[in-house]
Structure 1
Amino acid sequence: MKPFEQPEAGAGGAIETFTLPQDGLLPNNPALPVIVYTGALRNHPERTEQLFNDNGWLNSWQNGVFSYHHYHSNAHEVLGVMSGTASLQLGGDAGRTLEVSAGDVLVLPAGTAHKLLHSSTGFRVAGAYPGGADYNTRLAEPDDLAAALQEIAEVPLPDSDPVYGKAGPLLEAWGAGG
């Protein structure tokens, strides 16, 4: 099999960024935007996890998305849709709903709440974290919020974009990289 090559920036479709304000018990991350790469990996969604790993986003897994609001206060996360379609809610009940399909990639800065609203049969994502960070899972609870705000502020910026590597749009959007 031919080695998987990174897509050229912008070649896979639209790249969208947006921030989500704090929402009651969910911190989100008003300082760093969510980045959505629509269709970036549509030609080879089955290689999503490997591409993330190749770009230094490790501690990866494949599964679905929890059907309740949750977030990771100690790590940024990338989710790449490998198969199927889904409706994901980001930022809590007053946040944003995204329709995603195979080949789409979402980069969620630490603290960004996310949950599955509904999905097609066979919906599957790959997830990973910069440098292989161990991640926690926090819920919409007062005790979690108090601890999470300090943890979010201490999460380092990644060295690479999970899709485009050392020259990716994430580095500019987040002021990251070196």
Structure 2
Amino acid sequence: MHLDRRRFVTLLGVIALMPIAQTGFATPREVAMDTLLIDKPDGGVPNNRLPVLIYHRVIPPDIPDNAEYLEHLFRANGWPPQWRYPVYTFTHFHSNTPEVLGVYAGTAKLQLGGEHGNIIEVNVGDVLLLPAGIGHKQISADENFMLVGAYPPGIKADLCHDELPQLAARTKAVNAVPLPATDPVTGHSEGSMLVWHQK
């Protein structure tokens, strides 16, 4: 059928109003979020003046593959996923980058901040955004517990242990880490774009 200009423009308008199925596609979302401030050193763990952000129920219901959903969400928001794994069972941190951890299976108890730090429980759909320098380790987990981990573009995370003689140098390194350009869950708005950039 031949379309004149007016019919073509009308058709475009109708198409623009049609709903597009979003099932299985990750998009930046506004989700419930808690903050946890761990700004004092613990042994050789520097921690950070920026709070940990804990997003809840990030994965929508009826998603066929939780891991792929989180990977797509992080990638779409400028945080290329780098691994699928649980959390190490020893205290460690990264002095050169923030890190995002998305729970796609199981449940676990994690300790944040060092050997005297807070213990929190994480479940499927929880996402933790850790500033550089925040100590973390796995205390316990069920057999299904798995995460997607990601960092800002072009970053290879270092692996630092709780070593008191290194605290001053690593604190200096942590303080020099730039703020990320986007939030891995919410994109260019909300989340760390508000909380971290206001600090």
TM over 0.5: yes
Q: 1:70 to 1:92 in 2, by over 3 A?
A: same
How many angstroms does 1:59 deviate by? 5.1
Q: Which residue of 1 aligns with 2:47?
A: 28
User: Quick check: which one's strand share is greater?
Assistant: 1
User: Quick check: which one's helix share is greater?
Assistant: 2
1:122 to 144, 148, 152: 144
CA distance in 2, matches of 1:17, 1:149: 21
Aligned pairs, number: 172
Q: 1:170 to 1:157 in 2, by over 3 A?
A: same
CA distance in 2, matches of 1:52, 1:125: 13
CA distance in 2, matches of 1:115, 1:42: 27
User: Larger Rg: 1 or 2?
Assistant: 2
2:133 to 111, 131, 138: 111
CA distance in 2, matches of 1:57, 1:74: 15
CA distance in 2, matches of 1:58, 1:7: 15
CA distance in 2, matches of 1:168, 1:79: 18
Q: Which residue of 1 aligns with 2:25?
A: 4
1:166 to 188, 194, 197: 188
Partners of 1:138 and 1:144 within 8 A in 2: no
How many angstroms does 1:2 deviate by? 4.4
Q: Which amino acid counterpart does residue 101 of structure 1 have in structure 2?
A: N
CA RMSD of aligned residues (A): 1.7
Q: Which amino acid counterpart does residue 167 of structure 1 have in structure 2?
A: S
Unaligned runs of 5+ in 2: 1-21
Give the % identical residues.
Answer: 41
How many angstroms does 1:153 deviate by? 1.1
Provide the secondary structure at the position in 2 that maps to 1:8: coil
1:137 to 153, 159, 175: 159
1:1-178 equivalences in 2 (<5 Å): 2=23, 4-6=25-27, 8-10=29-31, 14-20=32-38, 21-29=40-48, 31-41=49-59, 43=61, 44=63, 45-46=66-67, 47-58=69-80, 60-175=82-197
Please identify runs of 4+ aligned residues in structure 1 that moved more than 3 A. Answer: none
How many angstroms does 1:56 deviate by? 0.6
